[in-house]
Amino acid sequence: MLYSISGKLLAKKSDFAVMETNGLGLAIFASGQTLRKLPKIGGRAKLFIYLYNHQNGAEIYGFFSEKEREFFESLISINGIGARAALKILGVARFENLISAIKTGRSDFLVRAAGIGRKKAERIILELKDKKGGALLAKGDNSLELNYEVSEALKALGYRRNETEEAIQKISPKAKTLEEKIKSALKILSRQ
């Protein structure tokens, strides 16, 4: 079984990266979140991978952490959720925020992923809470509500949604309170 890959980054496309390891270039599908974290072309990277076999062949999916990989496996074990849909869900927000959204039953958060409607989002939440993702959900944090409040405060100050979401993703993990998160986001936004 394939578990991880380390190598040189050869290319980054909209939904996959090409990594070279031992002279072999591999296309690895990844979420937008993961692709943004990769180094510049020519840099070295390590990804945890999942080999997804299907009727038309096999594809490799890459993740920055083992937790993300486990979450991906939990998602694709849900009837009607394929690998591409699971990747779109992972691309909606930081992994911790996704776990928090599921823990709090925020289907509106999952609906942001293309192709995921309200019913499917609610089914994902129900199934992950019931059995498949229980261990992952127990490990998640509760920062989603704080981040929502930060987003609303920034919008009230005149920032656009895409600006606020990008800033929230870059907030230091050391910022725990609402005030600390807002200050950190404002610093990030002032540098752009």
CATH number for 8: 2.40.50.140
Mean pLDDT within 97-101 = 81
Q: Examine the domain organization and report whether 55 and 109 are in the same domain.
A: no
CATH number of the domain enclosing 81:
1.10.150.20
pLDDT value for 51:
94
Report the amino acid identity of residue 90. L
Q: What is the pLDDT of residues 39-83, one digit of tens each?
A: 999 999 999 999 998 888 899 999 998 989 999 999 999 988 999
34 and 74 in a single domain? The answer is: no
Tell me: do 83 and 124 sit in the same domain: yes
Closest residue by Cα to residue 32 from 154, 121, 175, 165 = 165
If asked whether residues 59 and 102 sit together in one domain, one would say: no
Query: Which is nearest to 9 in space by CA: 31, 32, 22, 25?
Result: 25
Residues 116, 83: one domain? Answer: yes
User: Which residues form the domain of 43?
Assistant: 4-63
Largest CA distance in the chain: 52
Number of domains observed in the structure of the chain = 3
Same domain, 105 and 131: yes
Q: How many CA atoms are closer than 13 Å to the CA of 108, on its beta-carbon side?
A: 4
Place of tokens 């895409």: 162
Res. 136: pLDDT tops 80: no
- pLDDT of amino acid 171: 85
Do 29 and 87 share a structural domain?
A: no
Determine if the pTM surpasses 0.95. no
